[in-house]
Amino acid sequence: MVDYVQLISRAVTTLNPNTREARQALYQRARQTLVDKLRSADPTLSHTDLNAERAALESAIQQVERDAVRRTAPPQRQPVQDRAQDRYDYRDRPPLKDPRNWLRTAAVALGVLLVFAVGAGIYSFWPRNLDDVRSMAKQRNVSSTSDPAEIKSDFVRLRQLVYYRTTQPVGTIVVDKSQTFLYVVRPNLSAMRYSIGVGTECTALSGLYHVARKEELPGGKPSGQQSAVPPGLPVLYLDKADYRIHGFDGSARISLPEGCIRLIKDDVIYLYNHTPLETPVVVAN
């Protein structure tokens, strides 16, 4: 005779979730499978043998169900009298001592000392760092043509890596004339941001362009009329020769109306060295 208890127990352990409804469905499938198997047996079993197999299966199902209910039943709570008796048994004993109390106290004290030490260090170094940032911002002052009398010198105008969401591919230059910022798209939703000035030559500049030519102007003073691009600074020319990204010499204010897209000296040099030809340039008004 087949060991139905082992077969059904193994099938019950694979149920997920193992609920009463799932087990009953499993038992019903087992009954149907046994009936089909016995009917197709060759030679055909007698009526007595069929009843014996069915009885063995039902006995195994009842045993497996009792075991499953016992495992899933919540633990029984201790009677009230027994709990009271246990409490009274410990009434004459001294309270337990936790040997880890002193460790927790020492850890809290060490944490407080560490917080005070970090705060003191920040307080002592903060004024000096703030002065350095202010002096750097004064050296790299930038202004836009929207307000020629104002030279912006805050930290926001410095070249820096910023969070930037765009659909443009990595390496694309995005010129935002309204905010006077130039972005070079980087991976991971970031971009290198530059402050720019927009001259009258690029008032109508808008759309998609490419870096068609790169040129480093020779040093020395330009002859004749004053040039919008000082000598000795690199220039990035777009598809049209009238449109270019260039620098200024630092002695003139970037808010002067001459020129196109202007950057301060160290920014334009950095951009020039990191921008290959045919780089796409998107200009937005």
What does residue 61 show for φ and ψ, rounded to 5 degrees?
Answer: -65, -45
Helix, strand or coil for residue 82?
helix
Note the pLDDT of residue 81.
Answer: 58
Distance separating alpha carbons of residues 62 and 10, to the nearest angstrom: 15
Distance separating alpha carbons of residues 160 and 141, to the nearest angstrom: 14
**What domains, with CATH codes, occur in the chain?**
4-72 (no CATH), 155-284 (2.40.440.10)
Note the pLDDT of residue 143.
Answer: 42
Distance separating alpha carbons of residues 215 and 208, to the nearest angstrom: 21
Note the pLDDT of residue 220.
Answer: 39
Helix, strand or coil for residue 257?
coil
Distance separating alpha carbons of residues 215 and 210, to the nearest angstrom: 15
Asked if residue 143 lies in contact with residue 252, where contact means CB atoms within 8 angstroms, the answer is no
pLDDT tens, N- to C-terminus, the chain (285 residues): 677 888 888 888 888 888 888 888 888 888 888 888 887 877 777 878 888 888 888 888 898 888 888 887 676 665 655 555 555 555 666 666 666 677 888 888 889 989 988 888 787 766 554 455 455 545 444 444 444 334 445 688 899 999 999 999 999 999 999 999 999 999 999 999 999 998 888 888 899 999 999 988 764 344 444 455 666 789 999 987 678 999 876 544 445 556 789 999 899 999 999 999 999 999 987
Asked if residue 192 lies in contact with residue 159, where contact means CB atoms within 8 angstroms, the answer is yes
Helix, strand or coil for residue 284?
strand
Note the pLDDT of residue 162.
Answer: 95
Residue indicated by tokens 């202004």: 143
Note the pLDDT of residue 240.
Answer: 76
Q: In angstroms, how far is CA 134 from the centroid of its own chain? A: 32
- The pTM score is 0.44
* Omega of the bond leading into 79 within 30 degrees of 0 (cis): no
Asked if residue 237 lies in contact with residue 212, where contact means CB atoms within 8 angstroms, the answer is yes
Nearest to 27 by CA among 3, 63, 51: 63
Note the pLDDT of residue 282.
Answer: 95
Asked if residue 147 lies in contact with residue 255, where contact means CB atoms within 8 angstroms, the answer is yes
